[in-house]
Amino acid sequence: MVQQVSRFRRIVNVNVLPGEPLDGSGRVCIHLFVRDEKGTCVEPGAWHPVNDKLGNPIPRKIKTGPARGRLACDRKRKITPAIKNGVTTVTHRTEDPRAITCPKCMATEEYKAAMTKLGIPTEG
């Protein structure tokens, strides 16, 4: 079987989004995804703990599924990819606070609480 190659080229920009990060470092801006039932977006493949019959998390057991949430730095921002002039731009996000590079996310109470939970001190 011969696979046909599309005559259209798809470009995905995973570098630096315009204006991000705001510190001018040129790093990829990674946002903190915060689970929130009233959030503006749904993460389709988020990890969830598996609980026992009493509702306690079972160590080292996880499942995947959708999770509603938002970005820590902007409660109203959507995370769907944006396509402009044939270039797809994505919003990088994670629930792991150690990977965050967005200065605005790093200034939030959610970020500070997540780092404290991991035993990692934050400034301020």
- Predicted model pTM: 0.70
The answer on pLDDT for 21 being more than 50 is yes
pLDDT tens readout for residues 45-85: 777 778 888 888 888 888 888 889 999 999 888 888 777 78
User: Apex CA 21: angle with CA 46 and CA 81, to 5°?
Assistant: 45
The answer on pLDDT for 43 being more than 60 is yes
